[in-house]
A and B are shown apart, each in its own frame.
Chain A
């Protein structure tokens, strides 16, 4: 047996400090709220204390953003705004290792992912949007589209730095200023981004970062001085926000949950389909809104596929997120671990056949072994509710029409996957699937040029590409 020796990335480069402050009007300041302690979910140790905002802080930040908009940013030529965003993109790339290690410490995701996906994509997002700042007239939204003003943005814990980039870059490119609240369990990389923003000499008040919990988010999204709200998170909270903003005149975009179907036909390139399924549900521990959490496989190849899937999943390494050979990291919080456990129990109760990877798990921290349920039907909770963990529900179908019907049989509509060697079928399916993102013979591909967003209860509005600019312009 060949055991890979531990290959840990060094912690020191994350430059972890014992305490972090909020970023308001170009400076790091204390917060009026009760400081939160952010922990490393792989070890349960406290990483740092982080200042949080109270009502007055939210008000100060929104006013700072308004001043910056009125006096500086809203009037600045696009070509100059672009150069600030290019600087930020380049600096993220320069400090990429620091950010990747910090992200893995705070979030629990494997260093391989934060290093190879999260951080480079965040940099790319700033680089792409920098180029739009002085080209908005070409976006097909009118000859001289204007920004909205101050954007209040609330982001989730699953891709902390990347979600901050997805929010801040287009907002700034379009000429808005921003007040952003990172998730309460993962505030650190947003605050290092604030440091990068300060190093890039972005004018004070253009970006403000306020750590805190749901109450801070509510305060921010409801603040009268905010012109536009962008939220990524659970569908339940998304509905709350939409309700509270009704009649307010504030523009809103939502990116919520999903229960994506990954559809495998009998002529799929089978080994790559297995990779796509594995990536679809175990990438980022399954903490992905667009995760391929339902496998819809043609009944004629189901047994063969499941056998290959079990074998492949058994080679996944679950463990220390900082180990370069770790494939699946820690669940982000105890709360989330509890939720996953509860839903898995419901699966067993409702009669699905459970298979669990035989991989060893660390003895502390929040970890969950990759799990596959076969014999799932659409009526089961594990087929309908978003688990947001490394749990795959497998259903079968007989014909393409049946696959479409089952795939669409959900109030969600964020993403879907299609696996087949037949081009016309890919295009036919893509046309029929009610999902904002369709991946054919691949999965979990993200690019700043390609719009991302959902149908129905997965939210509305798009991020990335030309379509994503619309959210931040008065059009």
Chain B
């Protein structure tokens, strides 16, 4: 493991100690309290029974819209596809200009330049996936080049993937170093660290990976690439929200959380916001600290928004395809 980077400079001594070498890191991560699967799933299910209606529902819908990272990550992506995505990001509901813009668009590195052009001056961010997304199976040289390309083209956010193989075989130091290196290459862009929770499988692993990512300097921890099932789930996000809460209690800093993949409708989105509210805290109910990685979610949010305002159920003809 490389010498601690500047990211550990601001850490309280106990945490800085943990990043001294791989052995210390391992001891620290394995010393975190375990997560009981049944218990956390029950708590997540219990929170999901909250009934959010009327003004609080409308607020939640608008907030959720402002938290969407509108995403296209397909092999078949083209300039045309990215353009129409950006048009939607700028103006989600053409008939209702008061609808908030989404937080960002999320694309592959070679689409960043187009996205930056199409979102210029709108305040909508451009997030790029990087580091041999989605598998992360390539050399550090390639992963760094990936990132540098996106940053050079103007990406304001980088969504990297961790090396799950390294994590699962216990090489926490390697995972740490990769994150720290990519963070440096980000420059002014903020770094989201994708844990790929579906491959980590256990909640204990998710907790450890969350702490690892935060120790290494991530600005956001993100559940999934969306290319592996299961992607985001309420209990997994719950564990990550608890981790950022604990991190704040220890360091005073706030790290963001982004569930991605599998969040299809407004009901789901509101359940996530309730979890954010009650597990991390109301401060996280802001798109600087919480995002939804989604594509079809936006249209459901727009339809539900119309339903709340118009008083009748809406339909897919009243929202635009990307």
Contact = CB atoms under 8 A, between A and B. Distances in A.
A271 B242 contact: yes
Nearest to B242: A271
A421 B56 CA distance: 39
B49 A112 contact: yes
A275 B59 CA distance: 28
Interface string B36-52: 10111011000001111
Chain A binding surface SS class: loop
A301 to B, nearest CB: 9
Contact of A2 (B34, B49, B60): B60
A442 B35 CA distance: 12
A451 B68 CA distance: 49
A1 B282 CA distance: 6
Contacts of A269: 33-36, 39
Task: Pick from B36, B42, B56, B63 the residue with the most CB of A within 10 Å.
Answer: B36
B180 to A, nearest CB: 28
A4 interface: yes
B53 interface: yes
Contact of A7 (B36, B42, B53, B63): B53
Contact of A441 (B39, B50, B53, B56): B39
B51 A2 contact: no
A5 interface: yes
A272 B33 CA distance: 10
A270 B50 contact: no
Contacts of B63: 2
Nearest to B33: A270
A268 interface: yes
Contact of B36 (A1, A116, A315, A441): A441
Contact of A271 (B40, B51, B56, B60): B40
B57 to A, nearest CB: 7
Contacts of B35: 269, 271-272
What class of interface size applies to chain A in its complex with B? 20 to 34
Contacts of B53: 5-7
A4 B39 contact: no
Contacts of B33: 267-271, 421
Interface in A261-290: 267-272, 275-276
Contact of B52 (A5, A268, A421): A5
B285 A325 contact: no
Task: Pick from A3, A269, A307, A315 the residue with the most CB of B within 10 Å.
Answer: A269
Nearest to B42: A275
B39 A442 contact: yes
A4 B60 CA distance: 10
Interface in B24-38: 33-36, 38
Contact of B43 (A6, A275, A441): A275
Interface string A412-456: 000000000100000000000000000001100000000000000
Interface of A: 1-7, 112, 116, 267-272, 275-276, 307, 315, 324-325, 421, 441-442
